[in-house]
Every structure is written in structure tokens, then in C-alpha cells.
Structure 1
Amino acid sequence: MVAASVQNDEAIQLIKQQCEVNGIQFKHVVTQSEAFGIHCAYSQFKNLGVDRWLAVLGARMWTQSPVAILDLGTAATCDIIVDNQHLGGWIAPGFQLMRSAVISNTSKVFANQMTPLNIGLGKDTPECVNLGGLAMLQGFFYSAKNLISSYASEYEIFLCGGDSVMLSELLADNVTMKPDLVLEGLSRFIPH
């Protein structure tokens, strides 16, 4: 069994104990300075979340081209790989956090739970909040696209995470939904 966790060391320890009791091999996967020929950009590599590291490792299973990985969940992250070098990335609030921050920190702004898929202009406060969040995610996407294109004329962008569907209108030949990148990266550690 292989396992990784960004925040729950207690759960990992419980799984490890159960594996030991039942005679099951166990591997706790953590971020490394290098794995499978891919080098981490962080000098303090242990500070890179293992979810981001696994997405990087998973992306290399699909392409050897320069690639930007946008993982859009609670946080919106971007990581860029050129050759076998992870160059670094970004972390920003995801759509739900952005929406929550706006409604929690302003007294007369409110929202609903609608998830916009197409950019437009809102005609009431909840719609404006939701479309503003989508505009921020699209800006994150276009910033990543501009940056990766400065490294190579041919590149790919992989979208994963629960809110990646919000950018589905931006799919193109070099922009692909890869919902399981983290798990695919984790699968590289399964003994064969």
C-alpha cells in the first residue's frame, strides 16, 4: 500500500499501523528533491505539498513537453515543468475560498452556490461574486499560459481539481483535463 497526505499525519500513522498488523507492505510517499528523474525547484523541498509533487510526477507520465499543471480545488495551484526540472509555481485561493472571503469580509455582499462555467457580467450581487471568482480563475489560467509560453512555443496545460470544470470553455489542443494526476503520480510508487 502507498499513501500520501498533505495535512493528516495521524491518518497516515493509523494506516501504517494497520498495514503492519496485517502484514501489508506500506510506503508513505513524501516530497523528495528528485524522483523518477524529475528535480524539485524548492531548495527546502519538504515544503512543497506532496499533492503538488505527485501532480508533477503524474504529469510526466503523460508528456515530456513543457507543461503547466493547474490544480483548482480549495487552493488554486500552478506548477511548471520544463525538461525534467520543476521550475516552481504559485498558490492562490481557490474559487470557494475567494467566494467565502468576499462574503465573510464585506457586510452587504452575499452569494449563492451557483458555479459559473462561462464568463459574463453579473446582474445581481450573487452572480457578480460568482463571475468575479471565475474571472480570477481565468486570469490565473492566462497568467500560467503566458508564463509557460515564454519557455517554449509548444507546451501543454493540464487542469485538475474539483473546480477545473469551471475552465472547460478554455480547453484546446494543448489544454487537457487530467483529473487524476495526483493519484497517477502516487501510482508511480506502487511496487511492481
Structure 2
Amino acid sequence: MLEPNKILLVDVGNTRVKYAIDDGQRLSTIMVVSRLSELPLGGFSEIRVATVSRHDEIDHWKSEIAVNVRQAKVIKQHHNLTVAYNEVERLGVDRWLAMLAVWCEKKTPTCVVDLGTAITADYVSSEGVHLGGYIIPGFSLMKQSLGNNTACVGFGSNGKGVDPGSVTEACVDHGINRLVRGFLKDLLQAEPACHSLVVTGGDSSRLDYHGFEADISVDEALVLRGLRYAFE
């Protein structure tokens, strides 16, 4: 039996599929599966999906299930959030959904940072205007670049340290951690009106956020919560 207010929210990333259940009042804990075929489908009135790149896979999956699927697309102005891009289709929908969730829930100037395969950062003003952002390689891409182009560089344990390493693996991990921490601190200096960072993404737990002179919060459900607002 369908439950009118029960919606499955799905974030299809590059390497994994995250989902949560919205019962009309609250969001469940985030769950992770490897493939779309592993998602639970029973009892939902609809499924809302976000993806940046796996469109063909989603189209095939949609053709095989009976539940109504709505796929999020970036809108130039929605809930009074205005996107900076003139060609809105070139803005990753995950970035837009994360900004949308923060804007709808906070209404304050914020920098939204996604620590994923790529690291993205987007500024939202106190008026809900997207001021643009940055994209740099993520932790794994940086590490892969070193491994592919430098001899004898190993892969470490992905710890949170930033002190000088005493083995090559720690030198790599701690160096990347220091680079990303420096990038986050610089984001706050680059836009003086922005006093807070909201960090999301699969690598959001990779960093130690102590020592930042700003309001920093980690929220792994931003994209999923953005799906709540995207169709309103």
C-alpha cells in the first residue's frame, strides 16, 4: 500500500548511491548501496533522484520499476535562490541541491563545500544570490595524480593528520589534508561577508575542523534534503 507522504530521496554519486526516506515530517538516517537495483521500492508514493553523470543508468532503471521517479534539474531561481550560471544546466545538480537545502533552512550568507570526488565550494549571499564558486580535485584525485605520476608514492590510511609525515604514505595524506584545510580557510577570507561553512560529501569526515575561526558544520544529508525542496 502506498503511503502518500512517504518519498524515497536518492543521491546517485560517482561511486555510491545514498538514500534516505522522507515520511513528510523527518528524514531517516542516510543509507548506502552500491547499485540502484538494491534500493528499497515498496510503499513509496514517489522517488526523487539527483545525479550529475549517471543519467543513462537511471533512465534504464526507471524503465524497469513501477514507482514514479522525478529527477532533479537545476532551476535558475527557486525558493528565492538565484543561480549565478547563465547556462544553468552546466551547474552540477548536487551543488544546487546542497545550496538549496542550506538556503531554505538557514537564510544566511554561507559557503557550501562538497568534499567529494571533486571539491566544490559555492557562496550564497544573505539575499539568496549564488555568488559563484570554485572546483578543485578531491582527496582521491590528488592522491591518484601522485600515484600515477610519481615513483614510489604509496597510499596511506586516509588519516586526519596534518603534521609532517615520517613515512611517504603519511606525507601524502597529511599534505593533502593541509592543502584542503588551507583551501577552506582561504574561502572565508575570499568572501568577507561569509562567516560560515557548511561541509558535505563523502570525504567530509576526512578533516579535523578544529582551529577554524568560523562557524563550520558538517552535514552529509544536504543533497538529499535539497531534494525535499527541489519540487516545491
TM-score by length of 1: 0.87
Aligned to 1:183: 224
Task: State how many pairs are aligned.
Answer: 184
Is 1:167 the equivalent of 2:207? yes
Shift >6 Å, 4+ stretches: none
Is 1:124 the equivalent of 2:164? no
Paired residue secondary structure (1:120):
coil
Q: Which has the larger helix fraction?
A: 1
**Which range is displaced more, 168-177 or 38-47?**
168-177
> Which residue identity does 2:141 align to in structure 1?
L
Structure 1 position 176, deviation (Å): 0.5
5+ long unaligned stretches in structure 2: 1-46
Give, in whole Å, the separation in 2 of the partners of 1:117 and 1:105.
Answer: 24
Select the residue among 5, 17, 23 that pairs with 2:63.
17
TM-score by length of 2: 0.73
Give, in whole Å, the separation in 2 of the partners of 1:94 and 1:9.
Answer: 22
Give, in whole Å, the separation in 2 of the partners of 1:116 and 1:172.
Answer: 23
Give, in whole Å, the separation in 2 of the partners of 1:11 and 1:75.
Answer: 21
RMSD of aligned residue pairs (Cα, Å): 1.9
Contact map agreement 1:103 1:110 (CA 8 A) in 2: yes
Structure 1 position 85, deviation (Å): 0.5
Structure 1 position 167, deviation (Å): 2.5
Q: Which has the larger strand fraction?
A: 2
Give, in whole Å, the separation in 1 of the partners of 2:214 and 2:135.
Answer: 25
Which aligned pairs between 1:57-96 and structure 2 lie closer than 5 A? 57-82=100-125, 83-96=127-140
Give, in whole Å, the separation in 1 of the partners of 2:106 and 2:223.
Answer: 15
Paired residue secondary structure (1:115):
coil
Give, in whole Å, the separation in 1 of the partners of 2:94 and 2:52.
Answer: 6
